[in-house]
């Protein structure tokens, strides 16, 4: 089969890239080893967070936030996105110092989307919070969406513009031949002049086969969700000194993350929950919301994500192969960036250069 | 409760009780965990409490149960009632809640003996108050003498349905009708299996005799009914069904349903054991060898949780698995293990002869399992209808887990226990991918309710 661009991986990065390329008139085929959204893109926490990003990511996250505000114009669905703000709560003066330093850093870079708020405003925004907190860093524009719905909306829109999804199809061979990429799978061969690596936790294997190995580490962050409760909190709650991200979803359930990792057998794609770490998360909740003691946990899971040593993604043209591109290694915060990543890759592929500062994400940095 | 045991058994029904007794009698330290307040499992529930009255109802089976429980009580096995297992890992870490307190214990060998539950079959109106599983009806009746005040209709298929109808009749409850999905075809297919079934004078064949009794008492008893529906605004007011080509309606505020029983596989799924679709029993079962060993090292399964075989088979399978555990723990050598298991194997083989007959006779029509009416709620927790599921499949979500992600079907507190089968049938029907090749819901702990506070109390020394 011949196409303009072959994209390996049908998660959000692959789907967003295909969508943007299709909008520019190119024909794309996505080759996905399982089903779209089977991995990180379908099972993540849906956090749309600019708060506390690495400075290198700030220009990207700010633009992505604008795209999310307007996501319906891009994918014909609001992806159930809400923007009640995200907070990092300070529980003592050390926490407060940490957050103030962060706010100062951001302001020195010329950004204003993160700001400090005092105790009074904190309790106006989150009256349910335990009384000992002293202030918070806030990004008022932040929020969350429903990941699998977002992925489905991207997929639908991409398909309506002619993008083809080949599901349950594993890429097992990549060859360059006379200016063409030849991709072999057990379900046939694909050929295209351009190749994009959006293979998430598996992207390291693809990069290696292009002759540029990367120190990508697949890992499985855990999440838990509780029974439904009457609405009692609007913003997403994080903490200055605890690994915690806590929000009440559209349907009333509480979604709790904290970047604690499950143990992962990557080869078998099997993760096993690490209860000791979830117990720590539960204690963090007890500290901030003791009234939730008797709330029932309904489900706990983990999803496979690509982590880089510096927790920054790889977004670039290949340094070794002609007409090959990478977007992977989002280190558990790629959901928010995903609409923009497609645009950046489309710019790179079609125009040869991107309007965004992506030098920090070059594969040659390792 | 200790942190580690050589053997932990989950479930104090015939399988778990028999296994625990054997293991304890061979000097192994064994902990038997069960969420019920007393030993006995599903069939011998509360057997120690009301012996005389129960003896009458259960007859010779009761004696078996009593013997099992008293042998267990006299053994050195540690028994933990009111203890729920909420997680089981491949490494045999076992999350339990005992006296409201969460614990994490571990075991060198785990025997899952958690039994079966009634097959959920969604049909229009099945979530209305007034519609109840026959098993639950029986527990109310046996446990607290509660019966439907204004008469009852029983519908579905399987020995329990007839048994409950008979029990109600004896208790003076007006049985308005017994509507069985068994068709003539089922009888014809089951007939060749009858001779070997009759070789065992099985207590279950008794159920078939109940039919006679019910008929003689003037109970309306129809076979081959289709298109069962429950109607009512707030709660059940009437039911309708098709029989011999015409539609019928019956007024009732109580409907007991039963569509056979299927293994409880949440624990074995959580532990990562391999499962397969069993065509004859119309359910998933764990892959087990002749000893009950699963595909995961150190995890064995006995009783109805490993495939429906009934109470006697459960007891034999429990003992056979216990001999294997004794071998695995180095208490017995191979020869002793084989020798010890011989008698149980023989009895179990004989007891199982009735199964092919029962499976053919009480086979649930596939047309019911794939939830033909679009308005039927499939997932009670998240209120997802068959229409939404079919729409999701048409939209390209072509396996159970994608349907779950997209519709939230199976994401509620019951963990998909009530809807996973129906979703699998609908997916198989819509995609033409046979059930044998289909995927099941990936199972997510906790398998039993665990609160944030209980989780917070675990591993107090662990830090960020
Ligand atoms: C539990 C969890 C919580 C998270 N929470 C957030 C959050 O709140 N906010 C946020 O911004 N981000 C979050 N993230 C991160 C975010 O989900 C990811 O960064 C993002 O989804 C990555 O998208 P992707 O398309 O690169 O990866 P994926 O969605 O993993 O897609 C990669 C795809 O490639 C396919 N593939 C791999 N190899 C091959 C091959 N050889 N052939 C064919 N196909 C192949 C895979 O099957 C997979 O579907 C979270 C991640 C996890 C795991
Ligand atoms: C509703 C129903 C009604 C039945 N009625 C009859 C009948 O009338 N006549 C007949 O011959 N057979 C009947 N059976 C079948 C019979 O009960 C079984 O064949 C027999 O009990 C199987 O024994 P077992 O040891 O495998 O499991 P069970 O006897 O079912 O015992 C399993 C035990 O495991 C416990 N358990 C399960 N999960 C957990 C967990 N996560 N944590 C802690 N404990 C757990 C349960 O509390 C239960 O006590 C019925 C079955 C059901 C489901």
* CA–CA distance, A347 with B42 (Å, rounded to integer): 64
pLDDT band at B63 (very low <50, low <70, confident <90, very high): confident
Q: Residue A326, SS3?
A: strand
Q: B423 and B312, same structural domain? A: no
Q: B299 and B278, same structural domain? A: yes
Chain B CB contacts of A242 under 8 Å are: 464
Span B444-454, average pLDDT: 95
User: What are the boundaries of each domain within chain A?
Assistant: 5-67+147-215+309-365, 86-140+217-307
Examine residue B446 and say whether the peptide bond preceding it is cis (omega within 30 degrees of 0).
Answer: yes
Q: What is the pLDDT of residue B48?
A: 86
Q: What is the pLDDT of residue A290?
A: 98
CA angle at residue A278 from A252 to B273, to 5 degrees? 95
- A171 phi, psi to nearest 5 deg: -75, 115
Are the beta carbons of B179 and B228 closer than 8 angstroms? Answer: yes
* CA–CA distance, B193 with B197 (Å, rounded to integer): 6
Minimum-distance CB partner of B445 among A273, A277, A283: A273
Q: B285 and B238, same structural domain? A: no
Q: Is the predicted pLDDT of residue B56 greater than 80, yes or no?
A: no
pLDDT tens-digit profile of A220-238? Answer: 999 999 999 999 999 999 9
- Which residue, of B308, B332, B356, is where some domain finishes? B332
Q: Is the predicted pLDDT of residue A288 greater than 80, yes or no?
A: yes
Span A97-104, average pLDDT: 98
Span B298-303, average pLDDT: 98
Q: Residue B322 is inside which H or E element, if any?
A: helix B310-328
Q: Residue B378 is inside which H or E element, if any?
A: strand B377-379
Q: B142 and B154, same structural domain? A: yes
Q: Which of B170-174, B272-276, B410-414 has the highest mean pLDDT?
A: B272-276
* CA–CA distance, B449 with A319 (Å, rounded to integer): 51
Q: What is the pLDDT of residue B202?
A: 58
Cβ separation A297–B89 shorter than 8 A: no
Cα separations in angstroms, A292 against A9, A253, A255, A289, A324? 39, 12, 13, 6, 50
Give B 415-434 residues with CB within 8 A of chain A: 415
Number of Cβ within 10 Å of residue A72's Cβ equals: 12
Q: Residue B226, SS3?
A: strand
B364 domain residue, yes or no: no
What share of chain B in percent tops pLDDT 70?
A: 95
Q: Is the predicted pLDDT of residue A128 greater than 60, yes or no?
A: yes
B425 domain residue, yes or no: yes
Give B 69-128 residues with CB within 8 A of chain A: 87, 89-91, 93, 95, 104
Is the complex ipTM higher than 0.90? yes
Tokens describing residue B291: 């000893």
Span B394-412, average pLDDT: 91
List, as one string, the DSSP characters of A329-359. --TT--TTTHHHHHHHHHHHHHHSS-SS--G
Cα separations in angstroms, A30 against A241, B52, B193, B235? 41, 69, 52, 50
Q: Residue B143 is inside which H or E element, if any?
A: helix B134-144
Closest ligand to the CA of A53: 1
Tokens describing residue B163: 């048994």
pLDDT band at B51 (very low <50, low <70, confident <90, very high): low
Contacting residues for B81 by C-beta, under 8 A, at least 6 apart = B12, B34, B36, B37, B38, B39
Nearest to B125 by CA among B242, B235, B260: B235
pLDDT tens-digit profile of A311-330? Answer: 999 999 999 999 999 999 99
Span B407-422, average pLDDT: 91
- B54 phi, psi to nearest 5 deg: -65, -40
**Over the Cα atoms of chain A, what is R_g?**
21
Q: What is the pLDDT of residue B439?
A: 85
Q: B129 and B187, same structural domain? A: yes
* CA–CA distance, A82 with A233 (Å, rounded to integer): 13
Least confident of A109-113, A150-154, A262-266, B59-63: B59-63
B354 domain residue, yes or no: no
- Which residue, of B233, B259, B285, is where some domain finishes? B259
Least confident of A91-95, A230-234, B64-68: B64-68
What share of chain A in percent tops pLDDT 70?
A: 100
Evaluate if pTM is beyond 0.90. Answer: yes
Q: Residue B240 is inside which H or E element, if any?
A: strand B238-243
Q: Is the predicted pLDDT of residue B236 greater than 80, yes or no?
A: yes
- CA–centroid distance, A185 to ligand 1, in Å, is 21
Q: What is the pLDDT of residue B20?
A: 98
Cβ separation A148–B399 shorter than 8 A: no
Q: B137 and B110, same structural domain? A: no
Are the beta carbons of B13 and B42 closer than 8 angstroms? Answer: yes
CATH homologous superfamily, domain A5-67+147-215+309-365: FAD/NAD(P)-binding domain (3.50.50.60)
* CA–CA distance, A181 with A185 (Å, rounded to integer): 13
| A305 CB within 6 A, ligand 1 | yes
Q: Residue A289, SS3?
A: coil
pLDDT tens-digit profile of B172-216? Answer: 999 999 999 988 888 888 878 777 766 555 555 666 678 888 888
Q: What is the pLDDT of residue A48?
A: 98
pLDDT band at A146 (very low <50, low <70, confident <90, very high): very high
pLDDT tens-digit profile of B238-275? Answer: 999 999 999 999 999 999 999 999 999 999 999 999 99
- CA–centroid distance, B64 to ligand 1, in Å, is 55
Q: B254 and B145, same structural domain? A: yes
Average model confidence (pLDDT) for chain B? Answer: 92
Instruction: Tell me which chain A residue has its CA closest to the CA of residue B103.
Output: A275
Nearest to B287 by CA among B278, B314, B279, B349: B278
Cβ separation B91–A242 shorter than 8 A: no
Tokens describing residue B93: 């870490």
Q: What is the pLDDT of residue B188?
A: 82
* CA–CA distance, A207 with B89 (Å, rounded to integer): 34
pLDDT band at B136 (very low <50, low <70, confident <90, very high): very high
pLDDT tens-digit profile of A19-64? Answer: 999 999 999 999 999 999 999 999 999 999 999 999 999 999 999 9
B206 domain residue, yes or no: yes
Least confident of A208-217, A290-299, B209-218, B288-297: B209-218
Q: Residue B170 is inside which H or E element, if any?
A: helix B159-170
Q: Is the predicted pLDDT of residue B57 greater than 80, yes or no?
A: no
Q: Residue A278 is inside which H or E element, if any?
A: helix A275-288
* CA–CA distance, A323 with B95 (Å, rounded to integer): 51
User: What is the four-CA torsion angle of B326, B330, B335, B338, rounded to 10 degrees?
Assistant: 20
Are the beta carbons of B299 and B288 closer than 8 angstroms? Answer: no
Q: B128 and B231, same structural domain? A: yes
- CA–centroid distance, B435 to ligand 1, in Å, is 28
* CA–CA distance, B392 with A325 (Å, rounded to integer): 33
Contacting residues for A116 by C-beta, under 8 A, at least 6 apart = A99, A100, A103, A135, A136, A137, A138
Q: Residue B10, SS3?
A: strand
- B36 phi, psi to nearest 5 deg: -80, 160
Whose tokens are 């080509």? That residue is B245
pLDDT band at B404 (very low <50, low <70, confident <90, very high): very high
CA angle at residue A160 from A159 to A166, to 5 degrees? 15
Bridge-based pairing of strands B4-10 and B101-112 is: parallel
Q: Residue A72, SS3?
A: helix
Q: Residue A220 is inside which H or E element, if any?
A: strand A217-228
Number of structural domains, chain B? Answer: 3
Q: B380 and B446, same structural domain? A: yes
B362 domain residue, yes or no: no
B350 domain residue, yes or no: no
CATH topology of domain A86-140+217-307: D-Amino Acid Oxidase; Chain A, domain 2 (3.30.9)
Q: Tell me the CATH number at B245.
A: 3.50.50.60
- CA–centroid distance, B13 to ligand 2, in Å, is 6
pLDDT tens-digit profile of B106-127? Answer: 999 999 999 999 999 999 999 9
Minimum-distance CB partner of A279 among B91, B442, B462: B462
CA angle at residue B55 from B57 to B69, to 5 degrees? 120
Span A81-97, average pLDDT: 98
- Which residue, of B332, B363, B384, is where some domain finishes? B332
Minimum-distance CB partner of A35 among B399, B453, B456: B399
Q: What is the pLDDT of residue B163?
A: 87
Mutation pick from A228, A248, A298, A303 vs chain B, by most beta carbons of B within 10 Å, is A298
* Choice from A8, A9, A164, A172 to test ligand 1 binding pocket (greatest atom count within 8 A of CB): A9
Whose tokens are 């679009």? That residue is B374
Q: What is the pLDDT of residue B201?
A: 54
Q: What is the pLDDT of residue A140?
A: 98
Q: Tell me the CATH number at B383.
A: 1.10.10.1100
Burial B133-145 (b: 16+ CB within 10 A, else e): bbbebbeebbeee
* CA–CA distance, A63 with A340 (Å, rounded to integer): 7
B343 domain residue, yes or no: no
* Choice from A31, A34, A36, A44 to test ligand 1 binding pocket (greatest atom count within 8 A of CB): A44
pLDDT band at B49 (very low <50, low <70, confident <90, very high): confident
Q: What is the pLDDT of residue B58?
A: 57
Closest ligand to the CA of B41: 2
Q: B82 and B146, same structural domain? A: no
Q: Residue A262 is inside which H or E element, if any?
A: strand A253-265
Whose tokens are 């203890």? That residue is B83
pLDDT band at A180 (very low <50, low <70, confident <90, very high): very high
Contacting residues for A5 by C-beta, under 8 A, at least 6 apart = A18, A21, A26, A27, A28, A29, A192, A193, A194, A195, A196, A349
Q: How many CA atoms lie within 13 A of A151 on its CB side?
A: 28
Q: What is the pLDDT of residue B87?
A: 97
Q: What is the pLDDT of residue A202?
A: 98
Closest ligand to the CA of A168: 1
Minimum-distance CB partner of B406 among A152, A272, A292: A152
pLDDT band at B312 (very low <50, low <70, confident <90, very high): very high
Bridge-based pairing of strands B175-180 and B152-157 is: parallel
Q: B128 and B216, same structural domain? A: yes
Q: What is the pLDDT of residue B193?
A: 79
Question: Residue B409's domain spans which residues?
Answer: 371-464
pLDDT tens-digit profile of B348-364? Answer: 999 998 899 889 989 99
* CA–CA distance, B229 with B244 (Å, rounded to integer): 16
Q: B173 and B247, same structural domain? A: yes
| A224 CB within 6 A, ligand 1 | no
pLDDT band at B429 (very low <50, low <70, confident <90, very high): very high
Q: What is the pLDDT of residue B55?
A: 59
Mutation pick from A39, A240, A296, A302 vs chain B, by most beta carbons of B within 10 Å, is A296
Q: What is the pLDDT of residue B438?
A: 86
Q: What is the pLDDT of residue B73?
A: 97
């Amino acid at each position: 089969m011949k196409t303009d661009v072959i994209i390996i991986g049908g998660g959000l990065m692959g789907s967003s890239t295909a969508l943007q390329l299709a909008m520019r008139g190119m024909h794309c085929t996505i080759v996905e080893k399982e089903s779209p959204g089977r991995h990180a893109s379908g099972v993540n926490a849906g956090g749309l967070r600019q708060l506390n990003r690495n400075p290198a990511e700030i220009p990207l996250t700010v633009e992505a936030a604008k795209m999310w505000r307007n996501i319906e114009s891009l994918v014909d669905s609001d992806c159930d996105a809400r923007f009640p703000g995200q907070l990092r709560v300070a529980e003592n003066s050390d926490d407060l110092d940490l957050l103030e330093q962060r706010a100062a850093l951001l302001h020195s870079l010329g950004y204003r989307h993160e700001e400090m708020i005092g105790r009074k405003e904190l309790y106006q925004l989150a009256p349910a919070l335990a009384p000992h907190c002293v202030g918070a860093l806030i990004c008022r524009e932040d929020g969350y969406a429903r990941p699998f719905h977002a992925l489905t909306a991207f997929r639908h829109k991409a398909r309506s513009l002619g993008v083809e999804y080949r599901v349950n199809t594993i890429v097992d061979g990549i060859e360059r031949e006379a200016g063409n990429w030849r991709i072999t799978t057990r379900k046939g061969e694909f050929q295209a002049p351009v190749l994009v690596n959006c293979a998430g936790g598996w992207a390291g294997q693809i990069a290696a086969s292009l002759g540029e190995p990367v120190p990508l580490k697949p890992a499985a962050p855990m999440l838990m969700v509780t029974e439904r409760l009457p609405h009692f909190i609007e913003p997403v709650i994080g903490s200055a000194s605890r690994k915690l991200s806590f929000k009440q979803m559209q349907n009333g359930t509480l979604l709790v993350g904290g970047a604690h990792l499950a143990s992962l057998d990557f080869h078998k794609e099997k993760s096993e929950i690490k209860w000791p770490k979830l117990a720590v998360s539960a204690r963090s909740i007890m500290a901030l919301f003791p009234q939730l003691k008797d709330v029932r946990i309904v489900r706990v899971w983990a999803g496979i994500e690509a982590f880089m040593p510096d927790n920054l993604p790889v977004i670039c043209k290949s340094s070794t192969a002609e007409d090959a591109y990478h977007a992977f290694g989002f280190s558990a915060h790629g959901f928010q960036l995903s609409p923009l990543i497609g645009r950046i890759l489309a710019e790179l592929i079609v125009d040869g250069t991107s309007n965004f500062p992506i030098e920090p994400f070059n594969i040659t940095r390792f | 409760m200790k942190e580690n045991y050589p053997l932990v058994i989950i479930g104090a029904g015939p399988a778990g009780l028999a296994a625990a007794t054997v293991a304890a009698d061979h000097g192994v330290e064994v902990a038997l965990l069960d969420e019920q307040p007393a030993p006995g499992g599903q069939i011998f529930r509360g057997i120690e409490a009301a012996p005389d009255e129960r003896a009458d109802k259960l007859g010779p089976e009761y004696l078996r149960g009593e013997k099992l429980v008293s042998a267990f009580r006299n053994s050195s096995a540690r028994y933990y009632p009111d203890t729920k297992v909420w997680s089981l890992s491949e490494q045999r870490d076992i999350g339990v809640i005992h006296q409201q307190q969460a614990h994490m214990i571990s075991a060198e060998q785990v025997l899952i003996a958690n039994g079966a539950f009634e097959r959920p079959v969604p049909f229009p109106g099945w979530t209305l108050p007034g519609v109840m599983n026959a098993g639950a009806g029986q527990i109310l009746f046996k446990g607290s003498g509660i019966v439907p005040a204004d008469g009852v209709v029983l519908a579905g298929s399987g020995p329990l349905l007839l048994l409950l109808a008979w029990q109600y009749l004896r208790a003076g409850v007006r049985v308005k009708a017994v509507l069985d999905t068994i068709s003539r075809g089922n009888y014809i297919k089951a007939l060749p299996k009858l001779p070997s079934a009759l070789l065992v004078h099985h207590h279950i064949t008794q159920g078939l005799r109940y039919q006679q009794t019910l008929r003689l008492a003037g109970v309306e008893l129809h076979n081959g009914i289709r298109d069962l529906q429950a109607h009512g605004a707030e709660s059940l007011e009437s039911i309708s069904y098709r029989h011999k080509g015409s539609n019928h309606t019956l007024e009732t505020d109580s409907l007991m349903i039963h569509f056979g029983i299927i293994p409880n596989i949440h624990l074995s799924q959580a532990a990562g054991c391999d499962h397969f679709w069993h065509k004859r029993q119309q359910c998933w079962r764990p892959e087990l060898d002749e000893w009950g060993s699963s595909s995961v090292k150190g995890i064995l399964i006995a009783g109805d949780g490993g495939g429906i075989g009934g109470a006697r088979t459960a007891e034999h399978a429990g003992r056979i698995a216990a001999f294997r555990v004794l071998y695995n723990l180095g208490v017995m050598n191979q020869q002793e293990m084989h020798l010890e298991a011989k008698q149980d194997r023989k009895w179990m083989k004989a007891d199982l002869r009735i199964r092919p007959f029962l499976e053919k006779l009480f086979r649930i029509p596939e047309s019911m399992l794939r939830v033909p009416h679009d308005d039927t709620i499939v997932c009670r927790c998240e209120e997802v209808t068959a229409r939404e599921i079919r729409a999701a499949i048409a939209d390209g979500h072509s396996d159970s887990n994608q349907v779950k992600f997209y519709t939230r079907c199976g994401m509620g507190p019951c963990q998909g226990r009530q809807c996973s089968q129906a979703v699998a049938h609908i997916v198989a029907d819509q995609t033409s991918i046979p059930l044998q090749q289909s995927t099941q819901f990936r199972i997510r702990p906790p398998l039993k309710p665990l609160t944030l506070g209980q989780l917070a109390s675990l591993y107090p020394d662990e830090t960020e």
